[in-house]
Amino acid sequence: MDGKIWMAAALGLLVILGVTAYNMYQENKYRRKVREQFGHSDKDALLEGQPDSVRDGRGGAGLGSWQNKEGRQGKPLVVVREADVSKNTAEEHAAARAADLFAGAERPSEKPETPPVKPVGMLVMEEFGGDGLDVEVEEDEIVLLEEPEAEGGKFAFSAVPSPAREQEKTARRERLLMDLDDMVKQDLPWFEPRFDYMAYISLREPQEFRTLPRFSGRHRFFIAGCTMDGLWQEVEPVPNVYYQGFIVSLQAISRRGLASVQELEDFGAQVDAFAARLDAGIKLMDIAAFLDTARPLDELCERVDQTIAMHLVSRSTISGSELRAAMERAGFALSHDGAFHLEEDGRTLFSVVTMDNSAFTAALLASQHYKGFSILFDIPHVPVGSRNFDRFMDLTVRFSSELGLDLVNDKLEELSMEWLKDVGRYVAARQEEMQKVGIEPGGELAQRLFS
């Protein structure tokens, strides 16, 4: 009798061991499958991985916790601004540079710090249920990356005087309806001299526009006109509205990078041809002096132009209809760009995208299953304050709980509380940099610079 009991116990133990081994095998198989499907970077986010930039055409395809602004996967700390090619021929214009235009700043050196990551499982709900993250950043605190330093300790972009103008074609100046020098002094809400390259046009006779002029190029342009009663407004093709002068600008800094000397020269040539057709006088900004001001600002924009991505992965799959229902309960709406967006006051706060660069569509969500998704925090576009980052984390934890998803890094490891707090401090430091130069995160200038 005792022998039978021992045999039954041994058999039961073997069954238990067999089930455990099979579960371990299935878990490892699942991890390999997800890695093969989505890829992974060679370094953990916020650790020693060197950042990639899509400015030079490179782009990762991993599950890094930092993504580019279009929601496409990238390795840690991916920035989304193209290469600065404005330096290629800047030396040709050295003689025309204005003195004391800007307190120059050296290009920062980025050396990623390596804070430890301590796995603590899914304790996020408990930690973020209280007062939120403490994201106040001391002046000399090192947060994730060493703070770049410029000459004098910080950038000083505010109150930059308008650069000298390099061209002026006013053969019959006495007949111009507006004084070009007075036009240069205009402080208008549509223009920012730190990154808008401007041309000033004064007419000899009032001009009505039935169609707007078009200027070719990859950068945004804007035209403001002064009516005959002295009011400045955006130029529109409205009958019986006559103008006496124009200011035409090219936005030289955006997520496309900084405009090159050639691009600025091409824009100036197009505006010059436009003025010639109107028999008008024209003044153009000095290119080299303008770039002396714009280049340090572009370097700062490149540094802060990042998106935080939290990855939520299922151990099996989740249905698209279930995913969409969870998004809509949280206030997200499916957009034409194939992502879910949470908007407030007409601007996007957070976005949810797929993990394989595909678009969410109503048809696919109704019929397809997903391995997971990423929720994005676009640093320059989200208004400053720890409240917004806490809200971002609360939503992440909510989706994790409702849909039974794991919050993981690029190696499919659960994120530690120390890592999450470091991210909060990192966001605060980058947004503080923006505020120091008068660019409010989520504000009008930020919307222009990071578009």
- Tens of pLDDT, residue by residue over 342-394, are 998 888 999 999 988 899 999 999 999 999 999 999 999 999 988 999 999 99
Answer with the residue of higher pLDDT: 286 or 11: 286
Rounded mean pLDDT of 275-292?
A: 94
The predicted structure's pLDDT at residue 25: 65
The predicted structure's pLDDT at residue 237: 85
Q: Which of 32-36, 304-308, 432-436 has the lowest mean pLDDT?
A: 32-36
- Tell me the percentage of the chain whose pLDDT exceeds 70: 64
Q: How far apart are CA 219 and CA 255, in angstroms?
A: 10
Is a pLDDT exceeding 50 seen at residue 212? yes
Rounded mean pLDDT of 190-214?
A: 91
Question: How does pLDDT run across 43-64, given as a tens digit for each residue?
Answer: 333 333 333 333 333 333 333 3
Q: What is the mean pLDDT of the chain?
A: 74
Torsion of CA 427, 442, 446, 345, to 10 degrees: 160
Is a pLDDT exceeding 90 seen at residue 224? yes
At residue 34 the predicted structure's pLDDT band, cuts being 50, 70 and 90, is very low
Structure tokens at 290: 């303008």
The predicted structure's pLDDT at residue 27: 58
Q: Which domains occur in the chain, in start order?
A: 180-297 (3.30.1400), 305-450 (3.30.1400.10)
- What H or E segment, with its residue span, contains residue 348? strand 347-353
Question: How does pLDDT run across 88-147, given as a tens digit for each residue?
Answer: 444 444 334 333 333 333 333 343 443 333 333 333 333 333 343 333 434 433 334 444
Q: Which of 140-144, 193-197, 209-213, 352-356 has the lowest mean pLDDT?
A: 140-144
Question: How does pLDDT run across 322-342, given as a tens digit for each residue?
Answer: 999 999 999 999 999 999 999
Q: How far apart are CA 426 and CA 55, in angstroms?
A: 22
Q: Is there a contact between 303 and 380 (Cβ–Cβ < 8 Å)?
A: no
The predicted structure's pLDDT at residue 35: 45
The predicted structure's pLDDT at residue 213: 83
Q: At what angle do helices 417-436 and 287-304 cross, to 10 degrees?
A: 160
Q: For residue 311, list its beta bridge partners.
A: 374, 408
The predicted structure's pLDDT at residue 69: 38
Answer with the residue of higher pLDDT: 129 or 7: 7
Residue reference for tokens 């153009």: 284
Rounded mean pLDDT of 63-88?
A: 42
Please name the residues in contact with 68: beta carbons below 8 A apart, sequence gap of 6 or more. Answer: 54, 59, 74, 78, 79, 80, 307
The predicted structure's pLDDT at residue 26: 59
Is a pLDDT exceeding 90 seen at residue 413? no
From residue 108, alpha-carbon distances to 83, 153, 155 in Å are: 15, 12, 11
Q: Which residue, among 270, 293, 294, 271, has the nearest Cα to 283 in the 3D structure?
A: 271
Is a pLDDT exceeding 50 seen at residue 229? yes
Structure tokens at 11: 């058999």
State residue 217 phi and psi, 5-degree precision.
140, 170
Q: Is there a contact between 444 and 162 (Cβ–Cβ < 8 Å)?
A: no
Note the pTM of the prediction, 2 decimals: 0.64
The predicted structure's pLDDT at residue 3: 64
